[in-house]
Amino acid sequence: MEFTSFTLPNGIRCIYKRVRSGVAHCAMTINTGSRDELETEHGIAHLVEHCVFKGTAKRRAFHINSRLENLGGELNAFTTKEDTTIHATTLKGDFPKAAELIADIVFNSTFPAHEVEREKWVVQDEINSYLDIPQEQLYDDFESRIFGTSPLGRNIVGTSLSVERIDRAMIERFVERTYTPDQMVFSAIGGISEKTFRTVCERYFGGVEARRRGFERVVPAPSRYFNSEVTKAGSHQAHCMMGSRAYSYSDPRRLPLALLVNVLGGPAANSRLNTELRERNGLSYSVEAGYMPFSDSGLVTVYFSCEKDKLVRCRDLVKGQIASMMEVPLTARQLAMAKKQFTGQFVVAMESNESYMLGAAKAMLLHDEVDSPADVARKVNAVTADDLLAIARDVFGRVSVVTYR
């Protein structure tokens, strides 16, 4: 395994990789996101991520914000539907300070009532900013339809009304219920020794009380097919999203599906969708395919925007490319090139030590192991053209659509 790992007596898992660098990255990844909210708590996971920076038993918000920034480092956080991550970047000599600060805000935040109220205004402004971005609205709309009443169908930030209803007591109950050590991974990568990493983990995380999560996530019910068109006044473009349910993180077809989606509409300029819509026909500036696996489900999407009078043409071309993936197997040469591109993108992405670390933490959180680059290459090389054909037919057999125009 690329990362060294161990588990503290309280259940917190710790993973580390030493690289030659004057910089250290570290993070606490918590297996708690918006899907773990109760119906009355919509937006609370994201609000908690904001509010952990607003004061602890020994620090005020200003001291938290200044602790690493004064050293030339940075502290940040993000929330997804399934996890919350607080991460820091510092010079390697300041790594213990970063770890101590993360431990303080994760386990000792006091959530001052006045700070919570003020941060709710910030979050509501964030919500309003998304309302100005059609593709953000479209994505939320599509997910709400495809996951139905499941918490996975709710957006991460909440609504202005739901956030307004959240108070300090609700936050404390949510943290007590979901921020349990057995659902946490502390990760680091950088020019620090294994001895230093272990010492720091034991010092700042070892004394946390052992607690286990007392609830299980509910698998979303099967979705129904839909095809919806919404008129957006004042919009200059049409925006379209197609997609379907897909495989979870634990499904062995996850990696082949990721390869398939990369061929169809990945970030490379030679993806099939970019080649067809942009390069050959000049119809769209923005077209992409994406795959988001969750712990017990997943989502595959294709998004594009275009001039309104070109919508039908673009939609037909996208459907044509999807149909091709379902009907025509890749040639040996096409498959070899697709595998080379996919593994190359993976290795290039690993050049970002922080991204590599965060991906490893997520893998440890879900699987208790981290695939090495060699493991990934081996699994990719084992994929056949027939595998991709079968997966395309399974995932794209019936595609739902939402269009804004």
Q: What is the pLDDT at residue 332?
A: 97
How many other C-beta atoms can be found within 10 angstroms of the C-beta atom of residue 231?
Answer: 8
- Distance, CA of 154 to CA of 132 (rounded, Å): 19
Q: What is the pLDDT of residues 350-367, one digit of tens each?
A: 889 999 999 999 999 999
Q: What is the pLDDT at residue 388?
A: 98
321 contacts: CB under 8 Å, gap ≥ 6: 264, 272, 273, 276
Q: Is the pLDDT of residue 249 over 70?
A: yes
Task: Average the pLDDT over 286-307 and give the result.
Answer: 97
Which tokens is 379 given?
Answer: 């699994």
Q: Is 72 left (phi over 0), alpha (psi -120 to 50) or beta?
A: left
Looking up tokens 């290795």 gives 347
Q: Is the pLDDT of residue 1 over 80?
A: no
Task: Average the pLDDT over 273-287 and give the result.
Answer: 97
Q: What is the pLDDT at residue 372?
A: 85
Query: How far, CA to CA in Å, does 157 sit from each of 59, 80, 145, 164?
Result: 26, 9, 17, 12
- Full-model pTM: 0.94
**Where are the CATH 3.30.830.10 domain residues in the chain?**
4-204, 227-404
227-404 has which CATH code?
Answer: 3.30.830.10
Q: What is the pLDDT of residues 375-392, one digit of tens each?
A: 999 999 999 999 999 999
Q: Is the pLDDT of residue 234 over 90?
A: no
Q: What is the pLDDT at residue 40?
A: 96
Compute φ and ψ for 231, nearest 5 degrees. -85, 125
Q: What is the pLDDT of residues 170-187, one digit of tens each?
A: 999 999 999 999 999 999
Q: What is the pLDDT at residue 130?
A: 87
CA-closest candidate to residue 101, choices 28, 164, 11, 51? 28
Which of 20-24, 92-96, 247-251, 368-372 shows the lowest mean pLDDT across its residues?
Answer: 368-372
The full DSSP string for 283-321 is: --SEEEEEEEE-SS-EEEEEEEEEEGGGHHHHHHHHHHH
Q: Is the pLDDT of residue 46 over 80?
A: yes
Which tokens is 147 given?
Answer: 């996951």
Q: Is the pLDDT of residue 285 over 90?
A: yes
Which tokens is 218 given?
Answer: 């509910």
Q: What is the pLDDT of residues 92-135, one digit of tens each?
A: 999 999 999 999 999 999 999 999 999 999 999 999 998 888 88
Give the pLDDT band of residue 72 (cuts 50, 70, 90). Answer: very high
Longest distance between any two alpha carbons in the chain, whole Å: 63
Strand partners, 4: 16
Q: What is the pLDDT at residue 60?
A: 95
Task: Average the pLDDT over 221-248 and give the result.
Answer: 92
Q: What is the pLDDT at residue 237?
A: 93
Q: Is the pLDDT of residue 193 over 80?
A: yes
Question: Cβ distance 239 to 229 under 8 Å?
Answer: no
Task: Average the pLDDT over 322-351 and give the result.
Answer: 95
Q: What is the pLDDT at residue 27?
A: 98
- Average pLDDT over the chain, rounded to an integer: 95
Instruction: Please give the CATH superfamily to which domain 4-204 belongs.
Output: Metalloenzyme, LuxS/M16 peptidase-like (3.30.830.10)
Q: Is the pLDDT of residue 35 over 80?
A: yes
